Structure 1
Amino acid sequence: MTFVRTWAGTAARIVLAAVLGYAGWVKVQDLTEAGRTVALYQFVPEESAQLVGAAVAFVELALALLLLAGLATRAVAAVTALLMVTYIAAIASVWARGMSIDCGCFSSGGTLTGGAERGYVVDIARDLAFLGAAAFLITRPRTRYALDRWVLETKER
């Protein structure tokens, strides 16, 4: 059973790294657009949205690199889980307020002309799955091909 959990954790770590890396990379390519997308959520003042959009992009990239390396896996998974909870809450809030926007998770985002209900359900379900993967890593951070393992073994010697 430990063998299966270790490989499941490895898969969760790699999937989260790929998702966060791609999402962060897309945002870094156009930080102005990332800020504009944050402004669409109407959570922060427009003047702060640019900074928040850039910060999110670089945080996602940093988390992706740490997950890919398997370094500080439990802590990084906890931050990832908090990020996913934030994303879920933001999407649910936009939905509850009757707004129609693209989440901007893997694109530049924007205002949608048609109804976004189906998109919100898919976005929330996807982020819940990522939250589950992060929660799994919080409880079982030891995975294959991770620097954590090497660091912990070196400390114990």
Structure 2
Amino acid sequence: MEIGQTARATQVWPWISTVARLGLAAVWLIAGGLKVGDLAASGRAVNAYQIFPYEGAKVIGAAQPFLEIALGLLLLAGLAVRLSAGISAALLVIFIAGIVSAWVRGLQIDCGCFSTGGALGAGAEPAYGLDIARDLGFLALAGILLWRPRTRFSIDGILMGDDQ
């Protein structure tokens, strides 16, 4: 890579990472915001996966929207970007594993990622392949931030003295 290309890449990556950060922030804020109003439904959505005992699913379902909103706010502000991206990546891997598990076991459920989830109505088909592909896209955003966490217009950038 020539010096001009290196300088260009140095200037472009913070913008790419900024788009990834804001995109992932939007994902978490929307997902958490849609669930936080009905924590019981969120618990039922987790329970639909039939992985945890009902009481455990209720606790996970009640905590999940708050974790998603917290991650969204941290990413929106650009605070602890690499840590937030790492937690995001771990959650997304867990979500993908849960969807794969439901698919393999023949469960007929809505993933609950952007809804209250739960059992599908008669005649409705799950969209597990699309859900997994979508979450892999979100995982790619988290991967960009793990690799290149420096972004524009972020608290991290201000604290490190390199925000422009």
Instruction: Give the TM-score, by structure 2 length.
Output: 0.90
Show the counterpart of 1:115: 125
1:21 match: secondary structure:
helix
Query: 5+ unaligned residues in a row in structure 1: which ranges?
Result: none
Show the counterpart of 2:110: 102
Trace 1:127-146 onto structure 2 (pairs within 5 A): 127-146=135-154
Show the counterpart of 1:9: 17
Cα deviation for residue 115 of structure 1 reads 2.8
Which digits, 9 at most, give the CA deviation of each residue in 1:110-144, with x for residues without a partner? 2113332xx10100000000001101100100000
Show the counterpart of 2:54: 46
Runs of 4+ in 1 over 3 A off after TM superposition: none
Which digits, 9 at most, give the CA deviation of each residue in 1:31-85, with x for residues without a partner? 0100010000111100121110011111000000000000000011000000000
Number of residues of Structure 1 aligned to a counterpart in Structure 2:
152
Paired-residue identity, %:
51
2: CA distance, partners of 1:145 / 1:51: 35
Instruction: Give the TM-score, by structure 1 length.
Output: 0.94
- Structure exhibiting the larger radius of gyration computed from Cα positions: 2
Q: Which amino acid aligns with 1:115?
A: E
1:76 aligns with 2:88: no
